[in-house]
Each structure stands twice: as C-alpha cells, then as structure tokens.
Amino acid sequence: GGAGRTMGDYPGGPIEPVRGGVEEIGERLASFAAVGASHLQLVVDPITSASLEALAPVLDACRRRLAAG
C-alpha cells in the first residue's frame, strides 16, 4: 500500500484516506455532494494502471448512489 500524500498546511491534523469496499467508498464519495461539492479530485496511491482500473467500479457505485438520490 501507499504511504499517502500530504501537501500544504492542514492545521486540523492529518487527513485520513477514504478506505473500504467498492460500495462503501462509492457511497462516501457521493456523500460529498450532499454537503455541496460539485467536483472531487481523487489521488490514488500508488498511481498505477491497476489502481486506476480498480477505481472504475468505485466510480460506478458513486454514480448509482447519486442517481438514487
């Protein structure tokens, strides 16, 4: 696994990565829309083809959650 990427000054402490299964992560990403986010920037760690391919079902789960309201 990766070590995380912290950049900038975060006075509130470390930012924890989103972890879990496909549906759990998809739901968590969709939850940001409920608090007003219209765009997300995702950082996968490690940045590999396999990581990006593994992200596809998570994004599908996120889209399903958003469509369900």
The total of other beta-carbon atoms located within 10 Å of residue 31's CB is 14
Residue 56 is predicted with a pLDDT of 96
What does pTM read for this prediction?
0.76
7-45 tens-digit pLDDT: 666 677 777 889 999 999 999 999 999 899 999 999 888
Considering only residues 9 and 51, tell me which one the structure prediction assigns the higher pLDDT: 51
**Is 20 in contact with 9 (CB distance < 8 Å)?**
no
DSSP letter for 48, please.
Answer: S
Would the pLDDT of 6 be above 70? no
